[in-house]
A and B are shown apart, each in its own frame.
Chain A
Amino acid sequence: GNSVTQMEGPVTLSEEAFLTINCTYTATGYPSLFWYVQYPGEGLQLLLKATKADDKGSNKGFEATYRKETTSFHLEKGSVQVSDSAVYFCALVDLTGGGNKLTFGTGTQLKVEL
């Protein structure tokens, strides 16, 4: 079946440091890939997405490139801020049998310190 594997957290960085959160996936066909962010006590917010190989999703300084050859969708940001502290989820859309089922990774907690 489909699956998403993320690096375990927590990831602790100093403000202005470079961020990478690794995400790899297993899927049949050609899934769309997403990064969602969850702030404490809140629901999920879409951060960025990519729908085909070599697409780059970007938003709020975050970027991720859909790499079909390595089945990866790593999240990067050049300079993190304290306000980026949250849990980040990598996910793919599973269209097996139709529908919009999202398969999520376990999440990576990011803590940014001054």
Chain B
Amino acid sequence: DAGVTQSPTHLIKTRGQHVTLRCSPISGHKSVSWYQQVLGQGPQFIFQYYEKEERGRGNFPDRFSARQFPNYSSELNVNALLLGDSALYLCASSPGEGRRNTIYFGEGSWLTVV
């Protein structure tokens, strides 16, 4: 079975541009989350969606937005890119919610803002 898949794997954008990152969860998983990992740090929570509803939002500016589609795939959008947005963006999926759910990560999308 396929794991969590993300696209694109690498991309370079210019300051002020917009970026869309895509994620397909593991088949049967209904919850998708997004994390930002800056080099040398642990991942930071951005958003979580479950059954197409936003269930959690981290401490990120309104330039960051996301959505989940009927097939449970998800997009993360970042507007007005800043140099500090350069990071590895990780998507994670789990079957549902609750402390007994295991959360699986994709390989990530490496974003460089120049």
Contacts and interface: CB of A to CB of B under 8 A. Distances in A.
Contacts of B111: none
A35 B37 CA distance: 16
A42 interface: yes
A103 B104 contact: no
Given A43-B106, A43-B108, A51 B56 contact: no
A35 B104 CA distance: 12
Contacts, number: 77
Interface string B37-72: 000111111001010000110100000000000000
Contacts of A107: 40-42
B102 interface: yes
B94 A104 contact: no
Nearest to B41: A106
A4 to B, nearest CB: 8
Nearest to A105: B42
A77 to B, nearest CB: 21
Given A51-B99, A102-B35, A104-B42, A97 B56 contact: yes
A31 B99 contact: yes
A10 B82 CA distance: 30
A100 B99 CA distance: 8
B41 A100 contact: no
Given A101-B45, A103-B45, A49 B102 contact: yes
Of A46, A101, A105, the most chain B CB neighbours within 10 A belong to A101
Contacts of B90: 43-44
Interface of A: 4, 30-32, 34, 36, 42-46, 49, 51, 89, 91, 93, 95, 97-107
